[in-house]
Homo-oligomer: A and B are copies of this chain.
Amino acid sequence: MLTEVIPLGTGSAMPTRGRHFSSFALRRGGSLLLFDCGEGTQFGLLEAGLKNTRIEAVFITHFHGDHLYGLVGLLSTLGLLKRRESLTIVGPRGLQDLVNLMPGLAAERLTFSIHFVALDEDMGRMAVYETDAFTVEARPLAHSIFAAGYRFAEKARPGNLDVEAARVLGVTDYQQYRQLKSGQPVTTAGGRLVRPEEVVIPAPPGSSFAYVTDTRPCENGRLLAHGVDVLYHEATFTQGDRQRALETKHATAHEAATIARDAGAARLLIGHFSARYQTSAPLLEEARAVFENTEAAEELKPYLLRIPVGFEEKKGEGGGARGDPR
């Protein structure tokens, strides 16, 4: 199944005309996950043609407004749409109180229930969301306040049976095929023990995505990004402004790229650029010097986690495609 991430907002705390507040959508089949929900995220969903009714879970990284202030509006809209399905919201402890305090959002006024998952600084590695097909885990990052990073990973599918090889070894029974495929050894009619690894072709691991913002470069960021297909890592500053990165607990483009390289990520998207940079060029150049397969995340452009052979990825129309109006 194709899975893609769509940046809805790639700016930092200061609003600019080209970049919106933090949010990434992840689409997998009919399901939608949302990472962060800065002010205006629901407009981004509209502009991207993503149905907000499809959102299953929202993952908030931290309590800075540019990652958070669009959540109440989104919930309010889902209420107006008379959503019935429960919604999962993952984020730092306190989010539940905050939502319940907002006028119009008290639990008894919404048409749907919210399942809150509260994160704490000492949580370590935590599985925060799971379906039959994928998991999302969280780890604490290293920001000025408690922030969590997230890793989405599809579960490995069962491998395909090499039917010819199995037959050669004497497996002819359909029931035994299924047992082997599900990882269990079987004994053939001829008395031969056949182990799965002899006849099952391992499926490629599921696709994965890490969302690492806001943070200094850190071990947990690297662990979240380990071997992912796509890593989104904040790169608020260039090395020339590294002092500001240290003061405000953000990463430089060089540092983000170093994390991507050390984690063995396949592809790096950077964003959350400080409003001081007129274009992404200096940040991109700096990151590519360390990790070639880097792009500046472009709002509303879908990024496939795995690009099928022969599939042409849509070309973006240049930075700030979203709502730069006149």
Contact = CB atoms under 8 A, between A and B. Distances in A.
A183 interface: no
A313 to B, nearest CB: 18
Given A17-B46, A322-B325, A323-B325, A39 B73 contact: yes
Given A17-B47, A64-B104, A77-B15, A325 B326 contact: no
Nearest to A64: B104
Contacts of A63: 103-104
Given A40-B39, A42-B15, A325-B324, A65 B69 contact: no
Given A63-B104, A64-B104, A43 B76 contact: no
Interface residues of A, number: 40
Residue of A20, A21, A39 ringed by the most chain B CB atoms within 10 A: A39
Contacts of A76: 13, 65-66, 69
Interface string A24-43: 00000000000000011011
A25 to B, nearest CB: 16
Residue of A20, A65, A72, A76 ringed by the most chain B CB atoms within 10 A: A65
A68 interface: yes
A14 interface: yes
A80 B39 contact: no
A193 interface: no
Contact of A40 (B14, B43, B81, B102): B43
Interface string A6-21: 0000000111110011
Nearest to A15: B42
21 contacts: A14-B80, A15-B42, A15-B77, A20-B43, A39-B69, A39-B70, A39-B73, A40-B43, A47-B326, A63-B103, A64-B103, A65-B76, A65-B105, A68-B103, A69-B72, A94-B103, A98-B103, A300-B325, A321-B325, A323-B323, A324-B325
Interface of A: 13-17, 20-21, 39-40, 42-43, 46-47, 63-66, 68-70, 72-73, 76-77, 80-81, 94, 98, 101-105, 300, 321-326
Which 8 pairs show the lowest CB-CB distances between chains A and B? Answer: A63-B103, A323-B323, A39-B73, A65-B76, A69-B73, A323-B325, A40-B40, A47-B325
